[in-house]
Structure 1
Amino acid sequence: MEIYLDANATTPVLPQARAAALAAMSDDFGNPSSIHSTGLKARALMDAVRARAQRLLGTGGGQLLFTSGATEGIQTAVLSALRALRERRDAGESIGSLLLYGATEHKAVPEALKHWNELLGLNLEVRAIPVGLDGRHDLAWLSLQAPRAGLVCTMAANNETGVISDLDGIEQALSGSRAFWMVDGVQGLGKLDLRLAARRIDYAPFSGHKLYAPKGIGLLYVREGAPVTPLLAGGGQEGALRSGTENMSGIAALGAVLAALEDGQTFREPATLARWRDRLAETLLAAFPGLVFNAPLAVSLPTTLNFAVPGLSSKLLLDLFDAADVRVSGGSACSAAKALPSFVLQAMGVPEWQAASAVRLSFGPAVTEPLIDEACARIRACGEALRESCLTGTVAQEGTPLTPITRYVVDGACCWLLADPASRTAVVIDPLPELNERLERLLRCQDYRLLAVLDTHSHGDHASSAEGLRAALPDRLLHGEVDALGWPMDTEQLVLGEQTLRRLPVPGHTADSTAYLLGKGSQVRVAFVGDTVMPGALGRTDFPVSEPLALRDSLRRLADALQPGTLLAPGHDYENRFATTLSTEAAHQPLLAGALNGSLDALGLASAKAEFERGLGLTEYQTMACGARVCSGPEAAPELDARGLRLLLRTHPEALLVDVREPYEQRLSLLPDLGAVQLQAVPLSVLIEHLPEWLALPAETPVVFFCRSGNRSEQAARALRRLGHDEAYTLAGGLALWPQCEPGLEAALYV
């Protein structure tokens, strides 16, 4: 059963609302502008819904217009207010110089202000009203600015944090100002007593789909006497204020929801909702040590929790919850796909890690106690899955065994953890500050000792955290004095079980660039090459610490030390290629090919690179680029939908299916009878461990990767294809779009 806890994004449609919408489509389907009996029935239904909404919202003599949703309502309100301001200015009146909006408003508000301000030629200053750490508006600031404002936009309750605005305080701050006031009422509908006519609110937009009505229906309140400029002109519906044939099925459904608000049975009382929210909060705190709430519960909606867990990204938590069939979000659904820190939390001034790692849990007032009980049980299971993976907690435990090579990535920079389960020893290569806490917890949890913390070179784009990691694990270090890159002074090689790690100087990118070769004897399994060779690029050599004339010989020395097919583990991987080989890179990089085949000497390579790297800009992460990238192979892997996968499995029973989700996700998924299907669980973070075995498969053997949404599996398939196995595929849409009930497919994947 899916546990849906993302009601602030949208809600399921209430059963009685669905029934009302269907009845409006099949029975009361008339056009309310028609004057025959069928049309009059539709008109009566629409008028009844409007009257009920007016009663519930306390609109008094104000108007309620049916709209397509809150965005249209916001646009209409802003257009109406700004056009009135222009008319005042044209008449010689003072209108002030500011358009104000709350710093935590939904992006629809400031974007509408900027849009209509420009189109109407007002050219007023659009400025954000500051908020405090509690998410509430700075009323003292607003009082000072209000006399200069033409329009003030705030919200009843915030969609990300649930913080309830002090509307009475805002009204007091606007005392004496002629500014129009718009209140975004979307999250307040059905949860707050807004008393619209009792306040000086001029406009208030609402959206039905936030409270169990379908998408595409909303309301706009306009205070009696407030100016209205139609956003849509045409047939003159809604008193000529919003043209277009009314959405009767949506209106009927919204009416059913409003009726449910009045019946006293369908929706829970605020006290009950607050009690259930507190249970969820207590469960979260127990499941995730160190969890912090990003907004004070005392001034928040009783249906919303916004939290962050130290050391855990919001994406990790979203994947974890989704694997447990618990739907939560990273903030506003409108901006979640951009994976940026929450601007709402940034405006509140919370620490940056909280803004970047925030998760929102929200439920609607029609929630049931059994659903809350089940949600708490699954949250506890999520916490246990993370503890099993040593991602939370500090008590030493066995946990999920470490894989010999694990990759971590932060903004394209790679950190590698080498581990030998038999001897419980590990090496960290190119540590990153953002990962120190996680690595420390992991090594303590698994009871590993640390052979070394190494850098492949002196970094220019970030500070090495090697010293910090060593300092955090003094009781785990097996060697004392180390050189500038972290190599122990008392040994020439590091022993990791049956394998050894040795150094190979490769100056060029920097004077101290070093590759670390992992293998048995002279057979190198993986070479950790830092930025000397990256997927699609050679390390840039235009730094003051670079040795461009040494690079050509370093590349040839590296080639001599490796076997054909030896994997290169880079220090940066901007396109998620995971690993590469010299032959793969030589096929895509003419300069590397020239250095290896002798057609370029040291000066020729240095000169060509200098020209190629001229004016090199920042990466997509706004970090220093460590190499100029060239076209590096296929940009997309073939996708298979459910039907395509079924056909492939019939024609290729030897096909291999690979689940690239992380262990904590796989732990929360059910494994059905897979029959004869070959399935591997290979988290994306340890992909490099399995690339050689997949590359050794017969060329015609399909390898199909899958994950939750198709993003990670696409990366894995693309990486394998680039290395030479053309029969690599990704499951389109991942498990999120998997048709679990389609006959004959249950044995193919986890469900």
Structure 2
Amino acid sequence: MINLSKNTKQPLSLIYLDANATTQVLPQAASAALSTMETLFGNPSSSHITGLQAKQIVDKTRQQAKSIIGADEGKIIFTSGATEGIQTAILSALVNAKATLNKTKSYSLLYGATEHKAVPESLKHWNKILEINAEIKAIPVDEKGQLDMDFIAKEVPNALMICTMAVNNETGVYQDINFLDQTIRANNPNVAWMVDCVQALGKTDLALALTSIDYAAFSGHKLYAPKGIGFMYVKENAPFTPIIAGGGQESGLRSGTENLPGLAALSEIFSMLLGQSEASFTPVKTLHLYRLQLVSALTQAFPEITFNHSFENSVATTLNFAIPGFSSKEIMDLFDAANIRVSSGSACSSKVTRSFVLDAMGLPAWQSESAIRMSFGPAMTQTEIDIACNRIVSAAQALVQSCLTLGTKSIDTHTMNTNSITDKTELEGLVQFKVGGSCSWLYVDKKTQSALFIDPLPEVSERLQTLLTCRGLDLVAVIDTHGHADHESCRNSIAKKLLAEQQSDSLGWPADAQTTNIHGQKYPYIILGDKWLIKIATPGHTDDSISLLLCDPITHSAEKLQVHYAFCGDLILMDSIGRSNFSTSSTPAMYSSLQLMNTLIGKDSLICPSHDYHNEFTTCLETEMTGNSLLRQVMNSEIDIEEFSSKKIKMDKHIIEESGNEIMCGAFTSNLASACQKVVVHEYDSASLTKAVQKSSNMQLIDIREPHEYALQHDEKFTNNVPLTRLVQFVKEQQQDKEQEFVLVCRSGGRSQLAAQALGRLGFENVGHLKGGYALHQY
């Protein structure tokens, strides 16, 4: 098998900092569960000795739970976890409320705007099922995540139930339970009140019997117990409706044979919390010191870091932060490469998803989109914190590998698996930057240390300037292919900083450009190393649209252009033609522009549009004409301008106007989309890849993560590193050898699959990827 630890240096130890998602089961808890499965396996409902022994575990764990949460007066009911507890509490409260509804009155159900989604979704579900039809309202929070008490005081008199959170799972922000209690009961003594206490267990002191809380939900796997075990607190005399009926276990409150191994493990955790075990958890005061140490390391690693919550009102075990200029996915990928596990505040996709918690707190969009959560539990040790801090600083230094930062700090080689992670990788040729579906293109000529930037996006402006400084590159030009409708160009700001002396037109084309003659027509061009960049007017999408052809120098006006890349804006996109229904669009002009491009660039030149909505990276006319009948008809002169205009107008009518926050600039239709299905690529696992490598002497194994990820740690069999940002350059270099066998790998298999599909779409015949990536195949 492909053994991703064989022939490599000692793999990095795991640093797990995602305890708010789940925790490992502590050895003591695992041992207790295993012992129970093997020796105390009886049914607690059985009256024989084995059953009585089992029941003793249940009773002991219940009494421990009462002590820990300060609930001597209430009931403890064991559940499968917090979600079941939340469901049971909401169902119980609403069934009771329904019996007392006044049909002439309007009611509401209140929940904190930063609650875990299990709460509002459960409220919606049971509100509908029980046909209560109350209005569900989110209680606003301030910039520190504190619930709006004035809102509660105003709304709670008409509320059937109010749900709040003891500690937030994303930010660690805790609420003032006593203040909440006073506010709620002063305005509605009888409203049902549920508190999600999942993140509070073991991190804060709880005294539920001293409050008027009716229900509280807890989960074992957030505090070193196995998944599938939890419990809920129910205040004495609070309304209760069992969500699971059957054999009458848990005094008829929750039927089903008890999860005895889970309870035994939970009991062991409780013993540690209560000081009844030889093992113990780290005191809260020390946990605060751990957090300060992590903060110091993060600030050293990322000097511009922004923390998304106040430390004054959050538990010691949670940090939520954002790093300017980096998406949450980029930081997650970086940390994963360093074998540090953290959580993202957004989804890992090309369409950025913001954190609803940080949005509710009113934080800027970039903080919400870039949020990273770092969390640990009370079993954390000083040794683990020291290793984590060293690893964080070292991982950040690897960003120098990709020139994403200008760091100069030395590396502690004892904490990393590479002695030269700050050595910059070679950079020559084309680099693609993507933000959502939009693309910017950087071309670098290594010999002259010069570069040009095409279709600049504001989100990558600072990254560009860092890269130019890091590489010592001179910017020759920054050019837009047209006036973009879906975003504001940052061309002027970049030019002002880096090309202050250069005179240019409105799109950035230099005024001192030379001209050349091609097929009897004059075109302006600028020189970049040993290549020319030729400007071609290609109106249609907009009246100012241009295409930029990077080609070999022209020695004779009649010779065929050797075009390496055609930056055509939104004239031709993957699986599409640019839309032509803007006020400055022209379908006749687009017809002429398409035919001109066909004449100039040929069938194989790589097209680099300003949008890539489906992660296909690049294309060429041969590929596009295969799947796009309208484009093929234009290029082969099978239809005239009038017929093209008619068909194009109909096509544009079916454009999906927006994708997320983006205006769609391509004329995609359902028929066209169905005609452009994803290419099926070969998926390997470790065993099948081992056999394939042994069978083939010509197979190339390629790691397609970014250079900083690759530098931190990689399998040495994957000797080539071709990051996605440079995949188009790779395609150009390999165009003449599309039969070569490639197998791609990345962190989790997502990027490698996209890259493999893109290569397959362009005619590469033997491309596969390692399914699950490094995540499923150990280093």
CA deviation map 1:399-437 (0-9, x unaligned): 544332110111201110111222222111111122222
Do the aligned residues in 1 keep the contact of 2:402 with 2:706 (CA within 8 Å)?
no
Aligned to 2:508: 486
1:452 alignment partner, one of 465, 473, 477: 477
1:380 partnered with 2:385 = no
Alpha-carbon deviation of 1:670?
Answer: 4.5
1:355 alignment partner, one of 351, 365, 368: 368
Aligned to 2:518: none
1:503 partnered with 2:546 = no
DSSP 3-state at the match of 2:702: strand
Matches within 5 A, 1:265-276: 265-276=279-290
DSSP 3-state at the match of 2:505: coil
Q: How many residues align?
A: 729
CA deviation map 1:178-224 (0-9, x unaligned): 21111100000111111010111110000000000000000010001
1:567 partnered with 2:603 = no
Task: Provide the rounded CA distance (Å) in 2 between the counterparts of 1:453 and 1:698.
Answer: 33
Do the aligned residues in 2 keep the contact of 1:535 with 1:632 (CA within 8 Å)?
no
TM-score (norm 2): 0.91
Do the aligned residues in 1 keep the contact of 2:94 with 2:127 (CA within 8 Å)?
yes
Q: Identify if the C-alpha distance between structure 1 residues 180 and 336 changes in structure 2 by more than 3 Å, giving closer, same or farther.
A: farther
1:226 alignment partner, one of 238, 248, 267: 238
Question: Residue type matched to 1:641 in 2?
Answer: D
Matches within 5 A, 1:124-203: 124-176=134-186, 177=188, 178-203=190-215
Do the aligned residues in 2 keep the contact of 1:452 with 1:479 (CA within 8 Å)?
no
Matches within 5 A, 1:726-745: 726-738=765-777, 740=778
Matches within 5 A, 1:273-292: 273-292=287-306
CA deviation map 1:345-396 (0-9, x unaligned): 0000111100000000000100111111110111001221123433235899
Aligned to 1:512: 544
Task: Provide the rounded CA distance (Å) in 1 between the counterparts of 2:683 and 2:641.
Answer: 43
DSSP 3-state at the match of 1:7: coil
Aligned to 2:460: 435
1:643 partnered with 2:665 = no
Greater than 6 Å deviation, 4+ residue runs = 335-338, 394-398
Aligned to 2:76: 64
Task: Provide the rounded CA distance (Å) in 2 between the counterparts of 1:706 and 1:233.
Answer: 49
Do the aligned residues in 1 keep the contact of 2:346 with 2:369 (CA within 8 Å)?
no
1:660 partnered with 2:704 = yes
Aligned to 2:499: 477
Do the aligned residues in 1 keep the contact of 2:346 with 2:370 (CA within 8 Å)?
no
Aligned to 1:207: 219
Aligned to 1:588: 627
1:688 partnered with 2:732 = no
Do the aligned residues in 2 keep the contact of 1:294 with 1:307 (CA within 8 Å)?
yes
Question: Residue type matched to 1:268 in 2?
Answer: T
- Say which structure, 1 or 2, has more relative contact order (CA 8 Å, 6+ apart): 2
Question: Residue type matched to 1:662 in 2?
Answer: E
Alpha-carbon deviation of 1:470?
Answer: 1.5
CA deviation map 1:214-268 (0-9, x unaligned): 0000001000110110111111111111111111111111111111112274200
DSSP 3-state at the match of 1:220: strand
Kindly report the root-mean-square deviation, in angstroms, between the aligned alpha carbons of the 2 structures: 2.0
DSSP 3-state at the match of 1:274: helix
Alpha-carbon deviation of 1:693?
Answer: 3.3
DSSP 3-state at the match of 2:344: coil
Alpha-carbon deviation of 1:600?
Answer: 1.1
Do the aligned residues in 2 keep the contact of 1:451 with 1:478 (CA within 8 Å)?
no
Q: Identify if the C-alpha distance between structure 1 residues 555 and 479 changes in structure 2 by more than 3 Å, giving closer, same or farther.
A: farther
Alpha-carbon deviation of 1:601?
Answer: 1.2
Task: Provide the rounded CA distance (Å) in 2 between the counterparts of 1:129 and 1:233.
Answer: 33
Q: Identify if the C-alpha distance between structure 1 residues 68 and 203 changes in structure 2 by more than 3 Å, giving closer, same or farther.
A: same
Question: Residue type matched to 2:719 in 1?
Answer: L
Do the aligned residues in 2 keep the contact of 1:420 with 1:426 (CA within 8 Å)?
yes
CA deviation map 1:620-670 (0-9, x unaligned): 334211112323243442211111111111221211111110011111115
Alpha-carbon deviation of 1:2?
Answer: 0.5
Matches within 5 A, 1:287-298: 287-298=301-312
Task: Provide the rounded CA distance (Å) in 2 between the counterparts of 1:438 and 1:564.
Answer: 33
Aligned to 2:333: 319
Matches within 5 A, 1:73-152: 73-89=85-101, 97-152=107-162
Q: Identify if the C-alpha distance between structure 1 residues 592 and 332 changes in structure 2 by more than 3 Å, giving closer, same or farther.
A: closer
Q: Choose 146-155 or 11-20, whichever is displaced more.
A: 146-155
2:751 alignment partner, one of 712, 715, 720: 712
Task: Provide the rounded CA distance (Å) in 1 between the counterparts of 2:352 and 2:63.
Answer: 42
1:723 partnered with 2:735 = no
TM-score (norm 1): 0.94
1:424 alignment partner, one of 449, 452, 457: 449
Q: Identify if the C-alpha distance between structure 1 residues 130 and 623 changes in structure 2 by more than 3 Å, giving closer, same or farther.
A: same
Task: Provide the rounded CA distance (Å) in 2 between the counterparts of 1:715 and 1:683.
Answer: 12
1:406 partnered with 2:416 = no
Do the aligned residues in 1 keep the contact of 2:451 with 2:473 (CA within 8 Å)?
yes
Task: Provide the rounded CA distance (Å) in 1 between the counterparts of 2:349 and 2:320.
Answer: 14
Alpha-carbon deviation of 1:25?
Answer: 1.0
Aligned to 2:10: none
1:25 partnered with 2:47 = no
Do the aligned residues in 2 keep the contact of 1:186 with 1:206 (CA within 8 Å)?
yes
Q: Choose 277-286 or 504-513, whichever is displaced more.
A: 504-513
CA deviation map 1:521-560 (0-9, x unaligned): 2311111111111110011111111121122221121121
Alpha-carbon deviation of 1:488?
Answer: 0.6
Do the aligned residues in 2 keep the contact of 1:25 with 1:249 (CA within 8 Å)?
yes
Alpha-carbon deviation of 1:3?
Answer: 0.4
Q: Choose 494-503 or 345-354, whichever is displaced more.
A: 494-503
Task: Provide the rounded CA distance (Å) in 1 between the counterparts of 2:500 and 2:212.
Answer: 71
DSSP 3-state at the match of 1:495: strand
CA deviation map 1:42-93 (0-9, x unaligned): 1111111111111111112200000000000000000101111112227x9x
Structure 1, unaligned stretches of length 5 or more? 741-750
Task: Provide the rounded CA distance (Å) in 1 between the counterparts of 2:407 and 2:79.
Answer: 53
Q: Identify if the C-alpha distance between structure 1 residues 534 and 457 changes in structure 2 by more than 3 Å, giving closer, same or farther.
A: same
1:252 partnered with 2:291 = no
Task: Provide the rounded CA distance (Å) in 2 between the counterparts of 1:432 and 1:588.
Answer: 29
Structure 2, unaligned stretches of length 5 or more? 1-12, 410-421, 514-523, 554-560
Task: Provide the rounded CA distance (Å) in 2 between the counterparts of 1:179 and 1:134.
Answer: 26
Q: Identify if the C-alpha distance between structure 1 residues 306 and 129 changes in structure 2 by more than 3 Å, giving closer, same or farther.
A: same
Question: Residue type matched to 2:126 in 1?
Answer: W
Alpha-carbon deviation of 1:332?
Answer: 8.5
Task: Provide the rounded CA distance (Å) in 1 between the counterparts of 2:760 and 2:581.
Answer: 32
